[in-house]
Amino acid sequence: MAHNYLLSISALAERPEYGIPVVFYDQIGSGRSTHLREKRLDEAFWKHELFIAELDNPLGIADDFDLLGQSWGAMLGAIFAIRGHRGLRRLIISNSPLTLSKHEADKTNTDPEYLQAVEYFYNLQLYRNCPFPKDLLDALARLGKMTPFT
């Protein structure tokens, strides 16, 4: 999912009492990042090693940083931290995803039961206030797999 559903975190940089620099980026294949449509179904390409290499230093952040991993990024952040990076001070894991194994295994992620379970998960873990804010709805709409929740 694109970064825009986390834009409220940018307040950490804007408030003088925090003054924490915040960098958002969209992983390859999502949001404003490069979309490699020819690799879309290539399971050999989309491995966590690709995302670790992407996270390792393309932003030029090498020393003294904290990393927030949200949802899939929480799993990726854990792998990143376990492998070790000299500049990583802290890893914050947020909303690591619930696995909806039956439908994911069956590749039936458009089934109403699956969508209802995802909506329930999002309401518990992603954003607890309804309706969802516009930034989050925009990010969900970009997924193209589900209708925005109200």
∠55-26-20 over CA atoms, to 5°? 75
pLDDT tens digits, 123-146: 766 666 777 788 888 887 877 644
DSSP class of residue 78 equals H
Give SS3 for 94: strand
Give SS3 for 108: coil
The domain limits of the chain are 1-97, 99-150
Q: Quick check: 13 and 21 in contact, CB under 8 A?
A: yes
Write down the pLDDT at residue 101.
65
> Is-cis flag, bond preceding 131, omega within 30?
yes
The helix or strand, by DSSP H or E, that contains position 68, with its residue range, turns out to be strand 65-70
pLDDT for residue 115 is more than 80? yes
Write down the pLDDT at residue 144.
62
